[in-house]
Structure 1
Amino acid sequence: MATNGHHNHNHQLHHHPRRHVAVCAFPFGTHAAPLLLLVKRLAAAAPDVRFSFLNTTKSNSLLFKAINVSGFPNIVPCSIMPDDHDKGDGGHHHLKAIGVFLQAAPDGVRRGVAEIEAAVGVAVSCLITDAFLWFCGEIADKKGVPWVPLWTASSASLSVHVHTDDLRNKFGTHHNSGTCHEKIADCIPGMSNVRISDLPLGVVFGDLDSPFSKMLHNMGLVLPKASAVVINSFEELLPAITRDLKSKMRCLLNVGPFALTSPPQVESDQFGCLEWMDQHKVGSVAYISFGTVATPSKEEIIALAESLEATGVPFIWSLKDSAKAQLPLSFMKRIESNKTCGMVISWAPQLKLLAHPSMGVFITHCGWNSIMESIVNGVPLICRPILGDQVLNQRLIESVLKFGTGIEGGTITKSGTMKALHQVLSSHEGKQMRSNVKVLKELAEQGIRSGSTSNENFKVLIELVTGPTNGRVVENKKSEW
């Protein structure tokens, strides 16, 4: 195991920290970043506690470049998995790489924990992990220390995984969603608007035996035994779902939104987006970004470009260079000749853009981090979900929280996108979406003020992670793993 070289000099500062917390990341997608942001917040509150951040070499090197921890000598990146587990870009390869990682991870974590204990000379007193790493509950249990998993997505998708057996008992299991497509998942409190077809693959339809589906099922069964489950959200967002989860878990802690509690350091604006935004009318610009893992097909990218051209809506499109080549030549020429109509860039300062008064709508894949960022900035959404819990997120946005819309037919077409742009930017319905999301924005801001739910929950978390081994943890001994 190698700790990243530039942190080694910090070991002297913490020869014998008061406590030693092992943090275990899931190195795919955008999972590791929220975990490190949470750890930064904990490390600031508990400077005498060492946090060993266990992850793959590749994920750690990218992560610690993106998130600056230079002021935190008590956060030490530790690479415990060789790189061959974290290659993977694009759908199938990605799932295969996840399968390989999940197979190696239990032994990797056990070995990693033993090694950092030996290196630091202080036993690990708590395990904070990505919730996907459900086997860490067993590792923590054997050590008699608390297990604190972070769920990086919405409380609704967490609820689906906790209720998987109830859903399977009621609706059976199917290879495709067609047979029970429109049935409502009403056996879960707070889900009266959610259809079976909105659920993630691997719950009641799809390949239920894939390593990923099995992992999620196991996770749903063991999370109620965790010392506390942490969520990047706030209780007031989905209150019925939160109440139900609280009744299932030993301790459920909404400590978000992270976009407010752990804002990123200064985001660079190398392409001059903000200056460009200043030239546009309030609420007029469309921002487009589909996350880091999957992008829509070439046909959809072309259709989106055509709809932007046809409507004349000014836009900033964050698109990987590899996908940029798929854009029509006429579209690129128009941007070059008229800089004010739009920009296509490889990276955008997302939070700053969403906070700009000219921002009118965010066209998104509906990943949870992006949703929380749009809520804290009061921006309505046009949804094009691609994988995982994103379809469920779209349903919540359309039917429960009511601050966005999907695209007709579920994939991007020229006419469907033009319609959605018109709806959000120019119709009465769009005005209503904007006022709905403003209400959520206010709730999010109230949720992090002192004495509020997220703040009080964070205090409970600090006590659990850094405090003496208390009764709550001893009770772990009774749990049957």
Structure 2
Amino acid sequence: MFKLPEPIRDSHVAVLGFFPVGAHAGPLLAVTRRLAAAAPSTIFSFFNTARSNASLLSSDHPENIRIHDVDDGVPEGTVLTGSPREMLEMFLEAAPQTFHREIAAAETEVGKKVTCMLTDAFFWFAADMAVEMKATWVAFWAGGANSLCAHLYTDRIRETIGVKDVRTEETLGFIPGMENYRVKDIPEEVAFGDLDTVFPKALHQMSLVLPRASAVFISSFEELEPTLAHNLRSKLVRFLNIPPPTLLSFTLKRETLVRDPHGCFAWMGKRSPASVAYISFGTVMEPPPAELVAIAQGLESSKVPFVWSLKEKNMVHLPKGFLDRTREQGIVVPWAPQVELLKHEATGVNVTHCGWNSVLESVSAGVPIIGRPILADNRLNGRAVEVVWKVGMMVNNGVFTKEGFEKCLHQVSVHDDGKTMKANAKKLKEIIQEDVSTKGFENFKVLLDEIVKV
């Protein structure tokens, strides 16, 4: 890896993180850490809710990152239903006023006006804020090029397929690079359901203003979706694929240096190469209880070794006696070091919701996928896994059943289709590794220059 020359700048960057989805703020903070390390004379003011900051931050961030807690937008006395969508919409409605106030306070504290707004792309209002502040606006899209394309083409999709009696099986061939994706794969906020609520309206606004950003970047690799990357460059002032900092090293770290409170590595060390199913569904939502039962039953009957990262509150849904009966076969833990486990030689398949970060971590490690999309961009990513890259398969009808899951495990583990998936995953891993040392490095330098210039 080349060493970046240290830029001599004196800038102040306001970084606006997105709550309550951890898959947004976490990657944005990771990129901010890397930018801050490369530009030590630039101040990065990172704004996020207190709860989200507490879950993301450690004490080792660069000194030029200033952490600011912002209000989550939930009015005092409000009784929440627990729906992520509910919290998300309250946050979005309050965000413009909240960020105006907090950025002004940070400018006073630092003694420097903000020169760049580095924000989650969901914050469409940042386009006008940046103009008002005479700052540049750089937007981060937390998904892949496929979902970004779907949103940027929102109006064309609605005009082409309509928003009533939608023809879900049709492909999106009218969008360059989306020929292998179907209408039913796109996020519902693009063309389904009630499009007049807060979140769909915000995403539509985003699709209209993103072309005003001086740069839009995603956590990805250039060669994963080259046709879509070319398309996006025709729509945006500058589009960049920036390799996720957590995936810049492709060799497994010393296990003593990796946080592993539940002993996953010790357990994995006793398993055969490519034999273990790693199971996790992200931080926002799990499959419903009946499907958790089906997963457990499929694992038990298949005898496939497993590591299952499952929130403690959901462990009550496991079949009675499951943990005792599978004590030698696998472990269920409330948290696992996912990136490192996927790189472990014993991991044979990743069972996931197909969130963008999880998909990236899997293909970067050369591990095939069994997918069960849940929300947002999951269906698009699952389609890429199954049809575009051919590195995995989706569960039948998008729902776990005991027999269906057992069949998937068998197909990936021993069937000829599984051998093809593994070969394709290995090839994709090699392409990604080459990408990091060439285009990935160059793109990061372009992003750095755009963000910290004065």
Could you tell me the TM-score, scaled by structure 2's length? 0.93
| Aligned partner letter, 2:303 | G
2:347 pairs with 1:355: no
In 1, are the aligned partners of 2:281 and 2:353 still within 8 Å (CA)? yes
The residue that corresponds to 1:59 in the other structure is 52
Q: Which residue of 2 aligns with 1:261?
A: 248
Cα distance in 2 between the residues matched to 1:88 and 1:394: 36
1:311 partner amino acid: S
Q: Which residue of 2 aligns with 1:418?
A: 406
Is 1:139 aligned to residue 132 of structure 2? no
| 1:360-402 alpha-carbon deviations (Å, 9 max, x no partner) | 1010010111111101111000001111110111111111011
Are 1:120 and 2:107 an aligned pair?
no
CA–CA distance in structure 2, aligned partners of residues 444 and 249 of structure 1: 24
Residue matched to 2:21: 29
Question: Alpha-carbon deviations, 1:186-240, whole Å to 9, x = none?
Answer: 1111111111111111211122112111111111111111000011001110111
Question: How far apart are residue 69 of structure 1 and its match?
Answer: 5.0
Q: Which amino acid aligns with 1:218?
A: Q
Deviation at 1:261, TM superposition (A): 3.2
Whole-Å separation in 2 of the counterparts to 1:401 and 1:303: 27
Are residue 154 (structure 1) and residue 144 (structure 2) matched?
Answer: yes
Query: Structure 1 residues 310, 82: CA separation in 2 closer, same or farther (over 3 Å shift)?
Result: closer
Q: Percent identity?
A: 43
Residue in 2 aligned with 1:471?
none
Alpha-carbon offset, residue 84 of structure 1: 3.3
Judge conservation of contact 1:85–1:97 (CA < 8 Å) in 2.
no
Counterpart position of 2:292: 301
Q: What whole-Å deviation, never above 9, does each CA across 1:159-204 have from its counterpart, x for those lacking one?
A: 0000011101100102xxx640211111111111111111111211
Alpha carbons 1:161, 1:217 under 8 Å: kept: yes
Name the SS for the 1:244 alignment partner.
helix
**1:86·1:97 contact (CA, 8 Å) conserved in 2?**
no
Superposition deviation, residue 354 in structure 1: 0.6
1:288 aligns with 2:288: no
Structure 2 residue runs of 5 or longer lacking an equivalent are 1-8
Q: C-alpha distance in 1, partners of 2:294/2:379?
A: 21
**Which secondary structure does the structure 2 equivalent of 1:386 belong to?**
coil
CA drift of 1:90 comes to 10
1:223-234 equivalences under 5 Å are 223-234=210-221
User: Which residue pairs with 2:428 in the alignment?
Assistant: 440
Q: Name the structure 2 match of 1:75.
A: 65
Q: Identify which of 200, 205, 210 aligns with 2:197.
A: 210
The correspondence for 1:20, drawn from 8, 12, 22, is: 12
- In the alignment, which of 378, 381, 384 is matched to residue 372 of structure 2? 384
Aligned pair 1:98/2:88, yes or no? yes
* CA–CA separation in structure 2 for the residues paired with 1:419 and 1:225: 48
* 1:131–1:391 CA distance, 2 compared to 1 (3 A): same
Distance 1:406 1:315 in 2: 18
Q: Does the Cα contact within 8 Å between 1:286 and 1:360 map onto a contact in 2?
A: yes
Cα distance change on mapping 1:457 and 1:196 into 2, 3 Å: same
Change (3 A) 1:292 1:248: same
Once the two structures are TM-superposed, the CA of residue 57 in structure 1 deviates from its matched residue by 1.8
Give yes or no for the alignment of 1:466 onto 2:431.
no
Q: Of 385, 393, 397, which aligns to 1:405? A: 393
How far apart are the structure 1 equivalents of 2:362 and 2:263?
A: 21
2:33–2:61 Cα contact (<8 Å) kept: no
Maintained 8 Å contact 1:58/1:86: no
Contact 1:23 1:128 in 2 (8 A): yes
Determine which of 315, 326, 344 is the counterpart of 2:332.
344
CA shift, 1:88, in A, is 11
Partner residue of 2:38 out of 41, 45, 68? 45
Structure 1 residues 271 and 32, CA gap change in structure 2 (3 angstroms): same
Q: CA offsets per residue over residues 422-459 of structure 1, 9 Å max, x none? A: 1111111111111111111112111111xx11111111
Q: Give, as a single letter, the amino acid of the residue that structure 1 aligns with 2:390.
A: K
SS in 1 for 2:317: coil
Partner of 1:196: 183
Task: Give the counterpart letter for 1:414 in structure 2.
Answer: K
Q: Which residue of 1 aligns with 2:3?
A: none
Distance in 2 between residues matched to 1:375 and 1:239, nearest whole Å: 16
Segments ≥4 residues shifted beyond 6 Å: 85-92, 262-265
In structure 2, C-alpha distance between the alignment counterparts of 1:150 and 1:166, rounded to whole Å: 23
Q: CA deviation at 1:259?
A: 3.0
> Residue 396 of structure 2: SS of its match in structure 1?
coil
Q: Distance in 2 between matches of 1:94 and 1:125?
A: 32
Tell me if structure 2 keeps the 8 A contact 1:276–1:340.
Answer: no
CA contact (8 A) 2:48 2:69 kept: yes
Quick one: distance in 1 between partners of 2:47 and 2:325? 47
Inter-CA distance 140–85: structure 2 relative to 1 (3 Å threshold): farther
| Distance 1:239-1:90 versus aligned 2 partners, 3 A rule | farther
Q: CA deviation at 1:262?
A: 8.1
1:396 & 1:86 partners in 2: Cα distance? 42
Task: Judge conservation of contact 1:57–1:83 (CA < 8 Å) in 2.
Answer: no
Paired residues of 2:127 and 2:209 also in contact (CA < 8 A):
yes
Establish whether residue 169 from structure 1 lines up as the match of residue 159 from structure 2: yes
SS of the residue aligned with 1:23?
strand
- How far the C-alpha of 1:279 sits from its partner, in A, is 1.4
Structure 1 counterpart SS, 2:14: strand
Q: Which moved more, 1:113-122 or 1:159-168?
A: 113-122
The equivalent of 2:99 in structure 1 is 109
What is the aligned counterpart of 1:270 among 242, 248, 261?
A: 261
Partner SS, residue 180 of structure 1: coil
Aligned residues between the structures: 441
CA RMSD, 1 decimal: 2.1
Distance 2:78 2:396 in 1: 31
Residue 257 of structure 1: CA displacement? 3.4
Counterpart of 2:235 in structure 1 is 248
